[in-house]
Amino acid sequence: MHWETISKDTAPGVPPNLADYERARSVFTWSQARTELAGLPGGGLNIAHEAVDRHTAAGLGDKVALRCVTRDNAVSTVTYGELAHRMARFANVLRSLGVGHGDRVFTLLGRCPELYTAVLGTLKNTSVLCPLFSAFGPDPVEQRLRLGDARALVTTAALYRRKVADRRTSLPLLEHVLIVGPGAEELPGTLSFDELMSAASDSFTIPPTSPEDMALLHFTSGTTGTPKGAIHVHEAVVAHHATAAYALDLHPQDVYWCTADPGWVTGMSYGIVAPLVHGVTVVVDEGDYDARRWYRILGEQRVSVWYTAPTALRMLMRATPREGPYDLPRAYDLSALRFIASVGEPLNPEAVVWGQDVLGLPVHDNWWQTETGCIMIANFAACDIRPGSMGRPLPGVEAAVLKQGEDGRALITDGGVTEVDRPDVEGELALRPGWPSMFRGYLHDKERYDASFADGWYLTGDLVRRDADGWYWFVGRADDVIKSAGHLIGPFEVESALMEHPAVAEAGVIGRPDPVAGNVVKAFVSLRPGIGASPDLERELLAFARRRLGPAVAPREIAFDQNLPKTRSGKVMRRLLRARELGLPTGDLSTLEGSA
């Protein structure tokens, strides 16, 4: 690796060094982490109580919980006290509609204060919340409402009209549709969210809630196939709380911004639950991505901790290259910013260093999945960053690298002994179940759930390398890894090398079958603004990659494509690049960005 390790500075707020972390890790237990939360007065555990009521009970009712920035940059605030009242009202609304324990409540909303009310009120009522991405078309919306047995849906008139109205007859379980904002009276079969809210009482006692009660249903991103509905329980809040402290360095005085859409697990776990449980002020941005707007929010809202994704960072990198000039970021006062983290896809080393140069802070990559429910492996606050690495397992997380057996199933090598202590190994990342936010099943798909475990390990489907010091490096999804002339090639390594070329904005790499090599590496590349595709550039990029990666790993072919297919959560859909290349069926495209 030619990237240098970025050492931790000693900025205020940065917790212990690695030795302290190792100590914390050795004494950490989830049951101890559980004691840092309040629990319900009569026993049990409920996410809504931990996220809001706990703070109001501690006298923090006047603290700003949400700072909402509208599309036209108007800012409004909601305090913890107001949020407590609103969520209680919504819990009463659900109760009055006969929606109760375990019933599924879906949201189809952008980032707005009502989303927070609906999510927390649903959890308070011990119903189950399932967030949908508001840019989904009618098919994926219907598919998920059906799969998730939706009883209630909270949405807006415009979204309902476009995506749900003419599907109602095929969704007999969907009894209640609540329309946020105006328009309910013109839409048969719907109710006004606002009217119901103003009629409801703002006092509500949480019914008994077992930590094992289902709380959240999350559909995966669909990067590798049909999205799966992962079941999470109230106990997950223990993990959200602990991991946000370790991996995001959240402290009560922080102003925190998570750019993930609430339709994905990141936008829920770390956009809503974790920051509120920590009692911080959360920036809620209703607008769309725009480099200027984002720098403005970071500056004007005095954001101190920022959680975003590689795809977003790459967009910022396009707008503000490392080579400068830094006019755009310098136009805003980013001095409050002290911690940046990223998740969702591998973070190219280039992006980590870009953060250091342009924003004055490196980006801390971390790894987790819808299934794991919380951050598992991270370049956490206390450890040095190794650019391009996912980091190290958080306290309470036991990770291992497993080898593929002959029959294709992952087996633990060494006669059942894990490779935890062996340096520099490569294989499938596996996790020892037992952390609180571990998914409890795929809805209506026990077989798929059971197939995710072997010999007491949860198999993540991701291939990784663990270096001699215990840092994990993403190699690729098991489905995406390329076998070429006897080598196993991770697309990420090739993509990252290409991205170091100043002309390249993004890259997606696949294997194309080849009679001699088995597969050869083919790269699809999008270019920085103002740079045109040409045969010369293609030759230059091929040579550039060859110099960096060597002939066995470097791409043999490069195609230029300014619109790399991505999931709505921002991941390059290599399976679609491959299917298109090979003329194969494209499979489930419900999460493809730009699809209806």
Residues that bind ligand ATP (CB under 6 A): 220-225, 227-228, 343-347, 365-367, 369-370, 390, 460, 462, 474, 477, 569, 571
Shortest spacing between CB 465 and ligand ATP, in angstroms: 12
Closer by beta carbon to ligand ATP, 227 or else 362? 227
Give the footprint of Mg ion on this chain (CB under 5 A).
220
Closer by beta carbon to ligand ATP, 44 or else 227? 227
How far is the CA of 43 from the CAs of 35, 207, 391, 423, in angstroms? 12, 11, 36, 44
Shortest spacing between CB 271 and Mg ion, in angstroms: 19
345 binds, among Mg ion, ligand ATP, none (CB under 5 to 8 A by kind): ligand ATP
Amino acid at 576: L
The two tokens of residue 546 are: 């060859």
190 binds, among Mg ion, ligand ATP, none (CB under 5 to 8 A by kind): none
Instruction: Please state whether the peptide bond connecting residue 325 to the residue before it is cis, i.e. omega within 30 degrees of 0.
Output: yes
Shortest spacing between CB 364 and ligand ATP, in angstroms: 10
380 binds, among ligand ATP, Mg ion, none (CB under 5 to 8 A by kind): none
285 pairs with which residues across the strands?
A: 69
Closer by beta carbon to ligand ATP, 53 or else 345? 345
Separation between Cα atoms, residue 352 and residue 291, nearest integer Å: 17
Shortest spacing between CB 225 and Mg ion, in angstroms: 9
The residues, ordered by sequence, that sit 6+ positions from 140 with a Cβ below 8 Å of its Cβ are 132, 590, 591
How far is the CA of 89 from the CAs of 39, 68, 86, 120, in angstroms? 21, 20, 5, 10
308 binds, among Mg ion, ligand ATP, none (CB under 5 to 8 A by kind): none
The secondary structure of residue 371, as a DSSP letter, is T
Closer by beta carbon to ligand ATP, 196 or else 374? 374
Closer by beta carbon to ligand ATP, 395 or else 490? 490
Separation between Cα atoms, residue 546 and residue 554, nearest integer Å: 5
Separation between Cα atoms, residue 585 and residue 581, nearest integer Å: 11
Shortest spacing between CB 42 and ligand ATP, in angstroms: 35
367 binds, among ligand ATP, Mg ion, none (CB under 5 to 8 A by kind): ligand ATP
Strand stretches in 363-484, DSSP E: 363-367, 377-378, 392-393, 399-404, 410-411, 425-431, 453-454, 457-466, 472-477, 482-484
Closer by beta carbon to ligand ATP, 227 or else 329? 227
Helix, strand and coil content of the chain, in percent to the nearest 5, comes to 30, 25, 45
Backbone angles phi, psi at 310, to 5 degrees: -55, -40
Closer by beta carbon to ligand ATP, 149 or else 365? 365
Shortest spacing between CB 511 and Mg ion, in angstroms: 20
Separation between Cα atoms, residue 221 and residue 344, nearest integer Å: 10
Strand, coil or helix: 87: helix
Closer by beta carbon to ligand ATP, 500 or else 538? 500
526 binds, among Mg ion, ligand ATP, none (CB under 5 to 8 A by kind): none
122 binds, among ligand ATP, Mg ion, none (CB under 5 to 8 A by kind): none
340 pairs with which residues across the strands?
A: 306, 363
| CA 463, 467, 469, 473 torsion-angle sign | negative
Shortest spacing between CB 226 and ligand ATP, in angstroms: 7
477 binds, among ligand ATP, Mg ion, none (CB under 5 to 8 A by kind): ligand ATP
Shortest spacing between CB 428 and Mg ion, in angstroms: 13
366 binds, among Mg ion, ligand ATP, none (CB under 5 to 8 A by kind): ligand ATP
Shortest spacing between CB 382 and ligand ATP, in angstroms: 18
Shortest spacing between CB 535 and ligand ATP, in angstroms: 33
Shortest spacing between CB 275 and ligand ATP, in angstroms: 19
DSSP letter string, 186-228: GSTT-EEHHHHHHHS-S--PPPP--TTSEEEEEE---SSSS--
Q: Which residue has the tokens 């904002």?
A: 181
Both ends of the chain: CA-CA distance in Å? 41
Separation between Cα atoms, residue 342 and residue 309, nearest integer Å: 5
Shortest spacing between CB 228 and Mg ion, in angstroms: 8
How far is the CA of 440 from the CAs of 51, 128, 212, 214, 236, in angstroms? 22, 14, 9, 9, 10
Shortest spacing between CB 226 and Mg ion, in angstroms: 11
506 pairs with which residues across the strands?
A: 526
The two tokens of residue 368 are: 């987790």
227 binds, among Mg ion, ligand ATP, none (CB under 5 to 8 A by kind): ligand ATP
Closer by beta carbon to ligand ATP, 149 or else 345? 345
How far is the CA of 130 from the CAs of 9, 105, 154, in angstroms? 40, 6, 10
